Amino acid sequence: MLALAVAGVVVTMPRSVHARQAPSAPRSGYRIVHAYPHDRTAFTQGLEYHDGFFYEGTGLNGRSSIRRVKVETGEVVQRRNVPSQYFGEGITVWKSSLIELTWQSRVAFVYDRTTFAPTRTFTYAGEGWGLTNDGQSLIMSDGSAALRFLDPDTFAERRRVTVTDGVPIPALNELEWVRGEIFANVWQTNLVARIAPATGRVLGWIDLTGLLSPAESAGVDVLNGIAYDAAGDRLFVTGKLWPKVFEIKVK
């Protein structure tokens, strides 16, 4: 286990990402298209683009929230705080709902997407980290190398895959469905894995080293947060306590 002091809060995480061979799948770089303001107090756990806004889930006990955010300005136009006993994790928009995982409480919250009013909860085994959907299933990470595919109505597990690139890739975190692939932040790295949903094989890596300048890096935590605008073919990334959200092109 690894203990991190984040904004005065000690967070204990599994030490799972350090002993791993170098990736063998192709590695890509990026080009910054635009940088948008981001709330420096947001410990970003989940990010999604929908209907012209970012939906963001933030973490830490006593500071977790779900938010609707203006892309261009970073203004939080709607917010609901999560009860302090819960550490908020990944989110996804599913039809008229917004679904949010929690880290170690083994409970997920379902909210009305428009009002943020809670509508139901569901439980799951293990930890909750990242969440996305492919239009048919919810896709969940739990800090391991596994991805679970869940029924969006009953939340029963339909199947799971192990993400591999020669060896299993642990510490999968925030997830996003992008053009038929699953993009995943790998915790404590600057890498995003592009994953084949049928097999779990890593198709490629996006190396996001250097997004923040040295001055901007003061006081930030890890890269975490991927959102995709399918209509505009725009990819956005950010991190926990980062001052910016970046629109990027992979090259």
pLDDT of residue 11: 42
Helices (H) and strands (E) in the chain, counts: 0, 23
Q: Supply φ then ψ for residue 13, to 5 degrees.
A: -125, 155
The residue assigned the tokens 């599913």 is 94
pLDDT of residue 22: 58
pLDDT of residue 16: 42
pLDDT of residue 172: 98
CATH class of 25-250: mainly beta
Give the span between the Cα atoms of 144 and 105, in whole angstroms: 17
Residues 6+ apart with CB under 8 A from 61: 9, 84, 85, 86, 87
Give the span between the Cα atoms of 186 and 44, in whole angstroms: 14
Give the span between the Cα atoms of 135 and 200, in whole angstroms: 18
- Residues composing the chain: 251
pLDDT of residue 72: 97
Q: What is the mean pLDDT of each run of 10 residues along the chain (251 residues)?
A: 40 42 84 98 98 97 98 98 98 98 98 98 97 98 98 95 97 98 97 98 97 94 97 98 98 93
Q: Evaluate whether 144 touches 99 at the Cβ level (below 8 Å).
A: no
pLDDT of residue 92: 98
Distances, alpha carbon 121 to alpha carbons 28, 109, 186, in Å: 39, 5, 27
Distances, alpha carbon 203 to alpha carbons 165, 198, 226, 231, 246, in Å: 8, 12, 17, 23, 23
pLDDT of residue 21: 52
C-alpha atoms less than 13 angstroms from C-alpha of 103 in its C-beta half-sphere = 19
Name the residue ranges covered by the structural domains of the chain: 25-250
pLDDT of residue 142: 98
Give the span between the Cα atoms of 175 and 170, in whole angstroms: 14
Give the span between the Cα atoms of 185 and 192, in whole angstroms: 5
pLDDT of residue 173: 98
Q: Supply φ then ψ for residue 16, to 5 degrees.
A: -125, -5
Give the span between the Cα atoms of 44 and 147, in whole angstroms: 20
